Amino acid sequence: MGVNRVLLVCTGNTCRSPMAAALLAEKSDQLEVKSAGLQAFSSTSAAPHARIVVREYGASLDQHRSQPLTISLLEWADEVWTMTDSHAAQIQQQFPHYAEKITKLGDVSGYDEEITDPIGGDLDDYRRTAEQMNEMLEAYVKNRS
């Protein structure tokens, strides 16, 4: 059985992982997509710039509320995609039983890149991050077809 459930993970679950999740969900109705953060507080809205940029791609983060990474989310996921190698290493260290599920988004999509964190940046920083992720996600979906 292929990948059907993807969990995207970043630090705070207000910028990168929810943006990537929203973009991926728009690209494929064959995937269930969730996001979480390694240092996330529960129920924080997505960053305002993240909401704006995702809308530019036809997706929405209006209902997004941050959530911390949990064992139940790791169990739910077929694959866990992180934004950086550091995120992947941290999850593998904290949850070694799930190490085989964890991959950096850049590696999954055939790119050897980390996703730049736009937190604290301006709208153009968020647009650059979204463009980087969108390109990777399009490559993944195309290769999956």
Structural domains of the chain, ranges and CATH numbers in brackets: 5-144 (3.40.50.2300)
pLDDT tens-digit readout, 74-102: 999 999 999 999 999 999 999 999 999 99
CA 7, 76, 86, 2 torsion-angle sign: negative
User: pTM, whole model, 2 decimals?
Assistant: 0.96
The per-residue pLDDT for 107 is 96
- C-alpha 16/C-alpha 36 separation (Å) is 10
Catalytic residues: 10, 16, 117
- pLDDT recorded at residue 145: 79
CA angle 95, 135, 45 (to 5 degrees): 55
Question: pLDDT tens digits for 97-145?
Answer: 999 999 999 999 999 999 999 999 999 999 999 999 999 999 999 998 7
pLDDT in tens, 47-68: 999 999 999 999 999 999 999 9
